[in-house]
Chain A
Amino acid sequence: MPTEPGTGGTERFVPPRIDGGREVLPLASRKPLAVVGMVILSVYILLAAVGPFFVADPVATDPANALLPPSLDHLMGTDNFGRDVFARAVHSARLDLTLGVVIAICAMVIGSAIGVVAGYWGGAIDEALMRLTDIVLAFPGFVLALILVAVLGNSTLNVGIAVTAAFVPYFIRLTRAQALSERELEYVDGAKLAGNRSGRVAFIHVLPNSLQPSLVTATLVAGWAILTVSGLAFLGVGIKPPTAEWGVMVSEGARDIDAGHWWTSLFPGGMIVLASMAFHFIGDEFGGREA
């Protein structure tokens, strides 16, 4: 007996289907750069997580073995205090990566929350917040961070706060722009009718839907933050010697280059470049909407 379509008679005809369907290319060929970035980053994370347990004390000086070139004993050589460059670079990875990621997350959380308020409510609040971000964005991030650390005083925490503050306006802008278009969609009306008051509409409904651009930018910002932090340290602002930090190491090692001791600055400098590149590769390739 024929049955009504879809009502599920007991002996339903089950049509055969193609096996497999569309062949999905591996991520490596769709987004090769992102995979390179992820590989680099995983190595860094591994170094940062377990490295410090295996390498020498990063601040232990040994004048007898100063300025040794790279060898099996000292993979990246030693600096002019005889400290192991590799040990310092590994310890520094933990500090710099943590700072980069924490700064990016903090800036995103604060910036998106402010951005959704500006974008969803609009009006005078929006006007005021936008003029404020205009002022902040008028300074290059690096200069702003420099000024803030100068005001707040040298400490790792203050560097974190200063660099975060320098990046918050980007997230305000991004989230606001997205929230402005989101608030016109019907689901916002739907949420109001479901009994959400405006605070809940903004933070429970509009905010999660406005985060996509910020998430991508956060990856890029993590890279920038590492550059900014080590750049400040290079200038002698923020993180100070003898702390193991890439910027500090480059700054200290720069004096040795003239004497032909290239390894003390080249290795930490390379670590900075690779780390921020890795973040950029990932952010760039996931910037387009995932296919």
Chain B
Amino acid sequence: MAQRYIQINNSKTCGQTEMFTLQRIFIIAFIVLLEACTTTPRPNKNVVVDEKAVGDGQIGGSSQTDAAITSLFEQSQSQVTAGNLDEGARVLERALRIEPANPQTWYRMAKIKYLQNDYAQAAVTASRSNTFAGSDNALRLLNLTLMLDSYSALGDTDQAATVRAQIDTIQQQ
């Protein structure tokens, strides 16, 4: 029966096993280390709950959803550590459904895209994280560094220079 599913777009097949090189292990270790050094800021949430409202009740309740987000971050991290990058990203998508404006989730997603060698997605996802980062300069720097690496990997020197200038500006503050 299995041969009857014919999927045209290979890019969307799951479980793409990729070569787990020594270089990648270093990158993961580096990012895990960075991870440990950063805080997990939460965006300010303006909570309005209509008791009769239907839907998935996605309005997060300030830090009350932390347990769910933390649990998903842990799940995602263990998938990444095990080399299951796509699965790690999928778990983060679940976290985004709970808190769509959480810059940490977007940043973690950007890191996974980077590890997947999808540098264009890594750069744009880090940039998305920055739109939610507000005044959290530590996270903004992490995002910009990831963007710089991504644009450098893409060979986009113009964008890399722009990002480098932004990094300099923040560091001077």
A is bound by B: no
